[in-house]
Amino acid sequence: MKPTPIDVEIELDPKRYIVSETDAEGKITFCNDYFTEISGYTKEELIGQPHNILRHPDMPKVVFKLLWVMISTGHNINAVIKNLAKDGRYYWVFTTFEIRKDTDTDEVIGYHASRKSVSKHVVEVISDLYAKLLEIEKEEGVDASQMYLIRYLKEKDEGINFANLMENIHMFY
């Protein structure tokens, strides 16, 4: 059972990284000590669990849909994500997702994710967009949310898409 979110943010150390690895299906196979410290879960509670054990209900599903599309097609990607700790507190991270491949077969065997703190300004910028996407998902579904995001990005800049939105947000804010 997922914890009930409470409105208390966990402050991250900007000099430390939260690191995890998953298998190709997204089940956690490795997590560093900072991951367990911040999430409040033990390594035993995390290993073998789907990574969405940390998904905060404020996160729109379309973000994860697009992340999986990108990494499953061989592209590394970055994303700003709000995670839910075991005790119900939350934390925002800038995550870099990298594909891990078998060196002999070039087959995807899993994913590596490194997370670091993100500025308050980035959180302000992205949380408004995420709130709108979540509202659309609740009323009209994930596909409608995705269409809104595509239109939103086109209005902002012709050359921007979901993948480079995350990079641009992190670089410029």
Overall number of domains in the chain: 1
pLDDT of 165 higher than 80:
no
pTM of the predicted model as reported, rounded to 2 decimal places: 0.86
In a domain, 5, yes or no: no
In a domain, 3, yes or no: no
In a domain, 95, yes or no: yes
Domain at 23, CATH number: 3.30.450.20
In a domain, 13, yes or no: no
Chain segment 90-120, per-residue pLDDT in tens: 999 999 899 999 999 988 899 999 999 998 9
pLDDT of 171 higher than 50:
no
In a domain, 10, yes or no: no
In a domain, 31, yes or no: yes
DSSP helix/strand/coil, 84: strand
In a domain, 68, yes or no: yes
Identify which has the larger pLDDT, 75 or 28: 28
Interatomic CA distance for residues 81 and 55, integer angstroms = 9
Interatomic CA distance for residues 37 and 99, integer angstroms = 25
Mean pLDDT of the chain: 88
In a domain, 154, yes or no: yes
- What's the domain range around 158? 18-172
